């Protein structure tokens, strides 16, 4: 693999080698789409070269393990866009989120397994076209193949009462 990359990138400047590497990785990942099962979620995320130091050092942005699986938060959410299943939660009122804030069910917040905390994302209900901007301040969801877990207030604005197909797009740091 390294020899293939070296051969492909030999004629490029150092600044363009990273682009060649990303294109090679993207083409290899796209070959994974030849599997017999359809993908659960689609992502167009391309990592940013350097993330702010404060995000990398925060305890809630370090790798963590849940139910035997290790999750590694992204160093940056710039360019992140994915589609998948959204759920919502609200009974945990008063509990602390991964960011340390108290969970407020009627607020506009959400949990995501790997987006940096805090990140602001636009969540769009693909069935209705309704969208809401939420702040990622917690980790999850860890049930099924879900992409994002919305607060009750965010789910209400999207018209979600159970599960729904959504798109999630990074729009900035909060």
For residue 145, what is the domain's CATH number? Answer: 2.40.40.10
First to last CA, the chain: 39
Ramachandran assignment for 100, one of left (phi > 0), alpha (psi -120 to 50 degrees), beta (any other) = left
| pLDDT, position 114 | 96
In the block, tokens 């130091």 appear at: 53
- Say whether both 52 and 131 belong to one domain: yes
- Say whether both 118 and 83 belong to one domain: yes
- Say whether both 86 and 6 belong to one domain: no
- Say whether both 87 and 165 belong to one domain: yes
| pLDDT, position 57 | 65
- Say whether both 28 and 66 belong to one domain: no
- Say whether both 118 and 54 belong to one domain: yes
- Say whether both 99 and 19 belong to one domain: no
Neighbours of 149 (CB within 10 A): 23
Report, in this order, helix, strand and coil percent for the chain, each rounded to 5.
25, 30, 45
- Say whether both 110 and 147 belong to one domain: yes
For residue 14, the enclosing domain spans 2-34
| pLDDT per residue of the chain (174 residues) written in tens, 0 to 9 | 444 445 545 655 665 556 556 555 655 545 455 444 444 455 555 555 454 544 556 889 999 999 999 999 999 999 999 999 999 988 776 789 999 999 999 999 999 999 999 999 999 999 999 999 999 999 999 998 999 999 999 999 999 999 999 999 999 987
Sign of CA dihedral 66, 73, 150, 161: negative
In the block, tokens 């790997």 appear at: 114
Q: Look up residue 54 and give its two tokens.
A: 């404060």
| pLDDT, position 6 | 52
- Say whether both 93 and 27 belong to one domain: no
């Amino acid at each position: 693999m390294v020899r293939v990359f070296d051969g492909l990138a030999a004629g490029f400047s150092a600044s363009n080698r990273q682009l060649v590497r990303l294109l090679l990785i993207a083409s290899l990942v796209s070959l994974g789409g030849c599997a017999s099962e359809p993908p659960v979620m689609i992502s167009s995320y391309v990592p940013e070269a350097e993330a702010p130091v404060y995000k990398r050092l925060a305890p809630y942005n370090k790798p963590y393990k849940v139910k035997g699986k290790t999750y590694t938060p992204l160093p940056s959410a710039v360019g992140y866009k994915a589609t998948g299943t959204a759920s919502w939660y609200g009974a945990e009122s008063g509990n602390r989120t991964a960011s340390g804030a108290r969970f407020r069910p009627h607020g506009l917040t959400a949990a995501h397994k790997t987006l940096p905390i805090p990140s602001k994302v636009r969540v769009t209900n693909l069935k209705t076209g309704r969208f809401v901007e939420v702040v990622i301040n917690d980790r999850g969801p860890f049930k099924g193949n879900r992409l994002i877990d919305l607060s009750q207030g965010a789910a209400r604005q999207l018209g979600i009462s159970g599960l729904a197909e959504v798109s999630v797009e990074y729009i900035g740091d909060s």
